Amino acid sequence: MSDELPLKGIVVVELGDSASAPFGGQVLAALGAEVWKIERPGPGDSSRSWGPSQWKGSGAAYHSLNRGKRSICLDLKDAAQLDTLHVLIRDHADVFLHNLRPGSAGQYRLDPESLRALKPDLVCCEVGAFGHVGPMNRLPGYDPLMQAFAGVMSLTGEEGQAPVRAGVSIVDFGTGMWAVIGILAALFRRARTRQGATVNSSLLETAIAWMTVGIANYAADGEPGGRFGSGVAFIVPHRAYRAADGYQIVSCANDRLFARLCEALDRPEWAGDPKFATNAGRLAHRDEIDRLIGERLATQNRAHWDDHLGRFGIATAPVQTTAELFHHEQTRALGMIAKPQEDEIATVQLPLSFDGRRPPPLHAAPEIGDDDDALKRLLAGKPA
């Protein structure tokens, strides 16, 4: 299927570190682009040292974010090696993607103005922290900072408890996705106009985007919102309840589905109670109806409720561990976790299919400088 991938023939040079830009680069590779990853001498990408989980001497996180790429080792402080990077971009790249520390790209003549003067049709994508403009545009930043600054933490966790960060790096990965969306749009425009583009995305902009509904709610009524644990502010029931062997999510987005839930729980009288008959009533009596539903769900295990509530058309799912997800038959059926070959680490695949087929697993993440010789051949005009 690799010959059919939509980005076949596109060359990306990625100067990415940690999570956001490397994730974007990996998505581009999964879509068929040839991605040349630049790593600094010695430690290479920061995620190589992340722990505690390791695979073949590097952090498992590195392998999860850098599959399908070629790695070249360049010291940007060395003038000759920096010139090599400029030549690679000028003569071979369609896209340059980076998340250098704010303000440092210009130091290496890797800012969009310098690069597009060198190659006018280049798509240059900068992934920043607090954004490319504004009084904080030169500050560094990481995922937890942005979840805090953008208010995501103010809506996450239990009321009255300490702020909670989402357990996965939603801002890092989301920013990588926005970078890819911007790059694809710029490539589409370039095919029509033959002109390159400068694409900017940032962790803060992504975090603010995740606040879409919360900000609309505040704009409407001036209320900043609160924390509802596994639930949400505007629908009841729509949360996790403790079953006999764990937690089960139950969601009823309208009154009709709530009436079905009452039938499934053998409590039809709840649907006729003025306190609970409408979502507005359930919001006003959230604690009471949540307690009643929770008492019923505690009597059986998650598998029972999955089957029983499902037969009534109720949206429900168990709160699973990573291990449960990894081994679940639905995960296997989707082919979302796979290995390029048996002796490699299993990783998550691209969540897209084309004509019913998912792109094949990418080859293993490279070691630092694996493709240094290939780069020399490429710059010498030979097959890389």
Residues acting as catalytic residues: 172
Contact indicator for 267, 220 with CB cutoff of 8 Å: no
Backbone torsion region of residue 335, taken as left when φ is above 0, otherwise alpha when ψ lies between -120 and 50, otherwise beta: left
Q: What is the three-class DSSP state of 220?
A: helix
Provide DSSP, 19-83. SHHHHHHHHHHHTT-EEEEEE-TTT-SGGGG--S-EETTEEHHHHHH-TTEEEEE--TTSHHHHH
User: Which tokens is 53 given?
Assistant: 């989980």
Taking every pair of Cα atoms in the chain, the longest distance, rounded to a whole number of angstroms, is: 79
Q: What is the three-class DSSP state of 58?
A: strand
Q: Name the CA radius of gyration of the chain, rounded.
A: 25
Q: Give the Cα separation of 118 and 91 in Å (integer).
A: 10
User: Which tokens is 21 given?
Assistant: 């830009």
Choose among 267, 264, 347: nearest CA to 313.
Answer: 264
User: Going by DSSP bridges, is the β-strand pair 246-251/238-243 parallel, antiparallel, or unpaired?
Assistant: antiparallel
Q: Count CB neighbours of 183 within 10 A.
A: 28
Q: What is the three-class DSSP state of 54?
A: strand
State the amino acid at position 55 in one-letter form: W
Provide DSSP, 239-285. EEEEETTEEEEEE--SHHHHHHHHHHTT-THHHHSTTTSSHHHHHHT
SS3 content of the chain, % helix, strand, coil (to 5): 40, 15, 40
Which of the 8 DSSP states describes residue 163? Answer: -
